[in-house]
Amino acid sequence: MSVKPNILIVGNYNREDVVTAFHALITSFNLYFAEFISYKEETSNYYKTFGKAVYWSDYNNAFDLLAQIKPHKVLFIFIESYHHMALSLACKQLGIKTIIIDHGLRDENINMRLAKFFVRSPKKTSLIKRTSKVVKQFKERLRGQLFLIRTKSHLEKQYQEFFTEFCKIRSRIGYEKTVIEINSPLCLPNAYISFSEKNSNGHFPFYLFSHQFESYFIGIPLFDSLPKINKEERLHQNILFIDQGLNCRNLLGWTDSNYSNFLSSLSYNPQFERFKFYIKLHPTQTVENLYLVKNKNFELIDDNKLINILPSTYIIIGFFSTYLLPLAAMEHTTVITLENHPVGKLDVSKSFIDAGVAHPVYNMQELDWALQHIDQLHQQQLPNKPKFTEDWLYKFDGKSGERLRDILLQDT
């Protein structure tokens, strides 16, 4: 019996959607997840059904970690922290192949035209909470820093010099600006796996060094179950609302307060009483932030309930979201995007609108009109779905995870 190769996945595995995207790999690989200094930073055990976690503080340095895990390949969601970069450089020195993989929607329209509106204003946390976190993990944080220092001391000169420069610049500015200022392919991995060509065009760093990378398009593994859904008769006035968690990240001027006001204007608007709203929360969203849970016409749902209601749910509403990609591609759906944000009317979903698979609205009156003319809008969107699918999802066939698996199995 052959031994399964190991894959080390680096990214926030507290998010179930991040972990679920690797479901197709379970039978072919031993999966290891890395992101945190210690288990104390974990908020979910979901990853344990897929593999094991490793923590920076448990290893002497990145070379020690790689020697013990023995990964066939290292798969990064992002390479932006000190620990990410230390591990990436150690892999380069050892000849271990590194790959970055798309997780969410990457849109030129968002990442470039509207970049200034997507600078996060971090939520304030009390001094007591910040101090408590440091105290509780003092030993682990110290070992995490020693991990970086020892990794640097084991790096060859060219990597050592680069790591010093990266840490110096990264300490004062964001990752993307760091990449621009350093202007070195050492910032990036050996290969890139993207959902599609359109999505890859919005993946910022690869504009700089795209000629040096192996690139693969696979579709979106997280949504491999959706193409198997067969539409059913529209029995109810269902609306699926895709929450984007903008208030949680203070993006586009959204706060807990004004988002709650927006949702209450939906839930208590007489124009919409005839509809049942199903709300799919963004992974960063918390129920406590949502005013809508008190309204009988609003129901919070998870991925399983979404699969159950989707065959008979024809109307999709959202701001912009990775989830809107497959939903816009489905034959029976009609997508309405909400484009009026606290910072202004930005057409954040311009790529969906221009592709002819979404209808923008800017106020409640326009939303009411759209809902009254939903069949007309559906007929307008329907012929544009195949081209949109090709551009943004590569293939919508339920086999994206298999394509990812096959890429990772190369050279085994």
* DSSP, residue by residue, 51-91: EEEE-GGGSSSHHHHHHHH-EEEEEES---SHHHHHHHHHH
CA-CA distance, 203 to 205, in Å (whole number)? 6
H/E stretch holding 30 reads: strand 30-34
CB 306 within 8 A of CB 212: no
Phi, psi angles (nearest 5°) of residue 321: -170, 150
Output the 3-class SS for 105-164.
CCCHHHHHHCHHHHCCCCCCCCHHHHHHHHHHCHHHHHHHHHHHHHHHHHCCHHHHHHHH
Domain residue ranges in the chain: 6-219+397-409, 226-393
Pick the CATH number of 226-393 from 3.40.50.300, 3.20.20.70, 3.40.50.2000, 3.40.50.2300: 3.40.50.2000
CA-CA distance, 293 to 296, in Å (whole number)? 8
- Residue 133 tokens read as 């976190």
Do 6-219+397-409 and 226-393 come out as alike in CATH topology? yes
Architecture of domain 6-219+397-409: 3-Layer(aba) Sandwich (3.40)
CA-CA distance, 131 to 109, in Å (whole number)? 39
In terms of phi and psi (left: phi > 0; alpha: psi -120 to 50; beta: otherwise), the region of 398 is left
CB 314 within 8 A of CB 332: yes
- The tens-digit pLDDT sequence of the chain (412 residues) is 468 999 999 999 999 999 999 999 999 999 999 999 999 999 999 999 999 999 999 999 999 999 999 999 999 998 999 999 999 999 999 999 999 998 887 766 665 566 565 565 555 555 555 555 666 778 888 999 999 999 999 999 999 999 999 999 999 988 778 888 888 889 888 999 999 988 887 765 555 555 567 889 999 999 999 998 887 776 678 899 998 888 877 788 888 888 888 887 877 777 788 888 898 988 777 766 565 556 677 888 888 899 999 998 999 999 888 999 999 999 999 999 999 888 888 888 889 999 999 999 999 899 999 999 999 999 999 999 999 999 999 999 999 999 999 999 998 6
pTM score, whole prediction: 0.88
